[in-house]
Amino acid sequence: RESYNHILVERRFPDESNNNSARGGVGIITLHRPKALNALCDALFDDLIHAVQAFDEDDSIGCIVITGSGKAFAAGADISEMSTREFAHVYKKNMFAQWADITQTSKPIIAAVNGFALGGGCELAMMCDILIAGSNAQFGQPEINLGVIPGAGGTQRLIRAVGKSKAMEMVLTGNRITAQEAMEIGLASKVINSDLLLDEAVKMGFGIADKGGVAVRACKEAVNAAEEMTLSQGLMFERRMFHALFATKDQKEGMSAFLEKRKPNFTDE
Ligand code: CAA
């Protein structure tokens, strides 16, 4: 698909003069529905899933960045689209179940959160692998003010990120927290001046895209497995993945390069 209605898509490479690089690129997806603070209507989410999957299949891309245009990352699910829906409809459609397709991506996704990340916007950011906050970011789960509860992970991923008391406070009061607070409680990995946010996220993305792609995917898979497994299962999973990487060319290259005191030349094989 060449064009999208509600997102902007761009591929960036570390050396701008060479945008036909075979690897090492970062795929940038900007949520762009300015009239509604990038509220996540069904059509926007279809665009997003399509673009994420296209980058996941693109061998020239090693890392994906999701950000928002204007003063919001995303102000949540689209309230005007949802307001008149009935139980039977949302149940039969299993509303929001398909959003989790984002988490099936094999490459890392960085959420570069500018401005409002509320409700589904905060939940989308939490589905990503690394969350970096712009200094103007505000996070919240305000669904309680609409007579509902979070429906895309806000009661489940948030508690894993920040613990019970803070998660309860956020979902029960609907109050927003700042970028600084998000970092202090472990929701965000760091806070970046908003003007530099996207460039910093892309720079982090280039750093990741430069590593061996098989090991990068294995890191992501192993860390995410920790959310689903007991410690002993998780440690076994990690060790087996570690062993498996000895079947890759990148392991031979990475270790030889260290011993030869040179930069590794990874090929993602
Ligand atoms: N859905 C649909 N439209 C939205 C929206 C949303 N979630 N958030 C904002 N908009 C629209 C507004 O209706 C407004 O449109 P009009 O200009 O046509 O009136 C436009 O975006 C600008 O918004 P505001 O005028 O409200 O801007 P503001 O700067 O005064 O306030 C805000 C910003 C605090 C983010 C406020 O817009 C707001 O509270 N938005 C709703 C946040 C929310 O409740 N999100 C949770 C949604 S439910 C959910 O996400 C369920 C889930 O778990 C997946």
How big is the CA angle at 31 (ends 28 and 35), to the nearest 5 degrees?
Answer: 150
140 lines ligand 1 (CB under 6 A): no
239-248 long-range Cβ contacts below 8 angstroms, 24+ apart: 244/218, 245/214, 245/215, 245/218, 248/212, 248/214, 248/215
pLDDT tens-digit readout, 132-154: 999 999 999 999 999 999 999 99
Contact assessment for residue 127 and residue 153, using Cβ atoms and an 8 Å cutoff: yes
Question: Pick the catalytic residue: 133, 143, 151, 238?
Answer: 143
What is the pLDDT at residue 15? 79
Asked if pLDDT for residue 213 goes beyond 90, the answer is yes
What is the pLDDT at residue 244? 98
> In angstroms, what CA-CA distances link 76 with 25, 153, 170, 237, 253?
29, 12, 15, 35, 44
Ligand 1 geometric centre to CA of 244 (Å): 47
What atom in ligand 1 is closest to the CA of residue 150? Answer: 53
pLDDT tens-digit readout, 13-37: 997 655 556 899 999 999 999 999 9
- Mean pLDDT value across residues 180-207: 98
Strand partners, 133: 113, 191
What atom in ligand 1 is closest to the CA of residue 96? Answer: 54
Residue nearest to atom 14 of ligand 1 (CA): 36
Question: Annotated catalytic, 2?
Answer: no
Percentage of the chain modeled with pLDDT above 90: 96
- DSSP for the chain reads ----SSEEEEEE-SSTT-TT-SS-EEEEEEE--GGGTT-B-HHHHHHHHHHHHHHHH-TTEEEEEEEESTTEEE--B-HHHHTT--HHHHHHHTTTGGGGGGGG-SS-EEEEE-SEEETHHHHHHHHSSEEEEETT-EEE-GGGGGTS---SSTTTHHHHHH-HHHHHHHHHH---EEHHHHHHTTSSSEEE-GGGHHHHHHHHHHHHHTS-HHHHHHHHHHHHHTTTS-HHHHHHHHHHHHHHGGGSHHHHHHHHHHHTTS-------
What is the pLDDT at residue 199? 98
- Give the integer Cα–Cα distance in Å for 48 and 9: 9
- Mean pLDDT value across residues 45-62: 98
> In angstroms, what CA-CA distances link 185 with 11, 177, 189, 250?
32, 10, 9, 36
**pLDDT band with cut points at 50, 70 and 90 for residue 237:** very high
Residue nearest to atom 3 of ligand 1 (CA): 36
Question: Pick the catalytic residue: 51, 77, 117, 218?
Answer: 77
Structure tokens belonging to residue 68: 């928002």
What is the pLDDT at residue 22? 87
- Give the integer Cα–Cα distance in Å for 129 and 152: 16
Percentage of the chain modeled with pLDDT above 70: 97
Ligand 1 geometric centre to CA of 68 (Å): 14
Number of other residues whose CB lies within 10 A of the CB of residue 211: 19
The interface predicted TM-score (ipTM) is: 0.98
Asked if pLDDT for residue 262 goes beyond 80, the answer is yes
Number of other residues whose CB lies within 10 A of the CB of residue 220: 17
Question: Annotated catalytic, 238?
Answer: no
- Mean pLDDT value across residues 74-82: 98
Question: Pick the catalytic residue: 27, 62, 119, 120?
Answer: 120
Question: Annotated catalytic, 117?
Answer: no
What is the pLDDT at residue 17? 56
Question: Annotated catalytic, 260?
Answer: no
What is the pLDDT at residue 16? 63
Q: Burial, 126: exposed, middle or buried (Cβ in 10 Å; 0-12, 13-18, 19+)?
A: buried
Question: How does the average pLDDT of the chain come out, rounded?
Answer: 96
